[in-house]
């Protein structure tokens, strides 16, 4: 029986959705006659939609309010989310956890509407599946609250949980929650430097980093 649980980030970690997120983000900016800041894609990875909006207001003078920005992005995202797939390598990890009886959940900075669209697309939306969205907590990542809630819902102590993240803000959230954190960057994100204490996994092979951490606690 497993003594640990695994808490996955969603976008860019389990689901190959970051390009589509950015595509619909650019569409929303264009629809609202906004401009795109320098290095915008890398800077907003792992942040909330409110953080994106604040950045645009501060750096480009976008005048559209948050509600209009959300509506423009979410409408495009939900309508096209059916094309999303698991990130390469993620299916093998989930199969391993299922076969080993190791519980897992998804903890995301995305709002529930987008999260459910993603989970439906990859076949993970089921009655017993535990997920935490930005709407379920007061503070999103990099605060610890999302991961602490995930651990609570699974019935585990934070110290018994392993977090898998593709972004620095998400990794910081896992560390703040007192959890073991694996940084699993997307293959093209060679610029990422995870905080001290994060185990950096091979972008092509998460299982090789996850298995040793789990094998020490599986009885």
Select from 58, 82, 106 the last residue of a domain.
82
Q: Taking 50 as the threshold, does the pLDDT of residue 1 lie above it?
A: no
Whether 107 and 194 map to the same domain: the answer is yes
Whether 23 and 50 map to the same domain: the answer is yes
Cβ neighbors of 101 (< 8 A, separation 6 or more) are 1, 2
Number of domains observed in the structure of the chain = 2
Of 33-37, 163-167, 191-195, give the lowest mean pLDDT range: 33-37
Q: Average per-residue pLDDT in the chain?
A: 92
Whether 73 and 174 map to the same domain: the answer is no
Do residues 66 and 57 touch, judged by C-beta distance below 8 A?
no
Whether 99 and 193 map to the same domain: the answer is yes
Tens of pLDDT, residues 49-59: 888 999 999 99
Select from 82, 110, 130 the last residue of a domain.
82
Whether 206 and 183 map to the same domain: the answer is yes
Q: Taking 70 as the threshold, does the pLDDT of residue 216 lie above it?
A: no
**Residue 37 CB-density burial (10 A; 0-12 exposed, 13-18 middle, 19+ buried):** middle
Q: What is the CATH number of the domain that holds 187?
A: 3.40.50.1000
Q: What's the pLDDT score for residue 3?
A: 56
Range(s) of the domain holding residue 183: 5-16+85-215
Neighbours of 164 (CB within 10 A): 28
Whether 165 and 185 map to the same domain: the answer is yes
Q: pTM of the full predicted structure? A: 0.84
Whether 71 and 143 map to the same domain: the answer is no
Whether 66 and 142 map to the same domain: the answer is no
* pLDDT-derived band at 168, boundaries 50, 70, 90: very high
Tens of pLDDT, residues 114-155: 999 999 999 998 889 999 999 999 999 999 999 999 999 999
Dist. CA 162–CA 151, nearest whole Å: 10
Contacts 24+ apart (CB under 8 A), 32-40: 32/62, 32/64, 32/68, 32/69, 32/72, 34/60, 34/62, 34/64, 35/60, 35/62, 36/60
Q: What does 75-139 look like in DSSP terms, one character per residue?
A: HHHHHHGGG--BPTTHHHHHHHHHHHT--EEEE-SS-HHHHHHHHHHHT---TT--EE-GGGSSS
The beta strands (E) that lie in the chain are given as 5-8, 104-107, 131-132, 161-165, 180-183, 199-200
Mean pLDDT of 149-167: 97
Select from 82, 105, 126 the last residue of a domain.
82
Dist. CA 30–CA 9, nearest whole Å: 28
Q: Determine what percent of the chain is predicted with pLDDT higher than 70.
A: 96
Dist. CA 47–CA 64, nearest whole Å: 19
* pLDDT-derived band at 44, boundaries 50, 70, 90: confident
Whether 176 and 119 map to the same domain: the answer is yes
Q: Specify the residue for token string 């900016």.
A: 29
Q: Taking 50 as the threshold, does the pLDDT of residue 2 lie above it?
A: no
Mean pLDDT of 22-44: 88
Whether 66 and 140 map to the same domain: the answer is no
Whether 151 and 50 map to the same domain: the answer is no
């Amino acid at each position: 029986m497993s003594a640990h649980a695994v808490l996955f980030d969603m976008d860019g970690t389990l689901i190959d959705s970051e390009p589509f997120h950015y595509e619909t983000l650019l569409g929303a900016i264009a629809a609202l006659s906004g401009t795109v800041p320098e290095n915008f894609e890398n800077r907003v990875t792992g942040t909330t939609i409110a953080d994106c909006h604040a950045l645009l207001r501060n750096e480009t003078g976008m005048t559209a309010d948050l509600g209009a920005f959300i509506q423009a992005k979410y409408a495009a995202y939900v309508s096209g989310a059916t094309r999303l797939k698991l990130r390469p390598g993620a299916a093998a990890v989930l199969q391993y956890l299922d076969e080993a009886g190791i519980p897992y959940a998804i903890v995301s900075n995305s709002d529930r509407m987008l999260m459910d669209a993603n989970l439906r697309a990859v076949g993970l939306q089921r009655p017993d599946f535990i997920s935490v969205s930005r709407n379920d907590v007061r503070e999103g990542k990099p605060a610890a609250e999302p991961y602490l809630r995930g651990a609570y819902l699974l019935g585990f102590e934070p110290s018994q949980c392993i977090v898998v993240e593709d972004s620095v803000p998400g990794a910081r959230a896992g560390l703040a929650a007192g959890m073991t954190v694996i940084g699993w960057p997307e293959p093209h994100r060679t610029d990422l430097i995870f905080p001290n204490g994060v185990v950096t996994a091979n972008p092509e092979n998460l299982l090789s980093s996850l298995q040793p951490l789990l094998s020490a606690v599986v009885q």
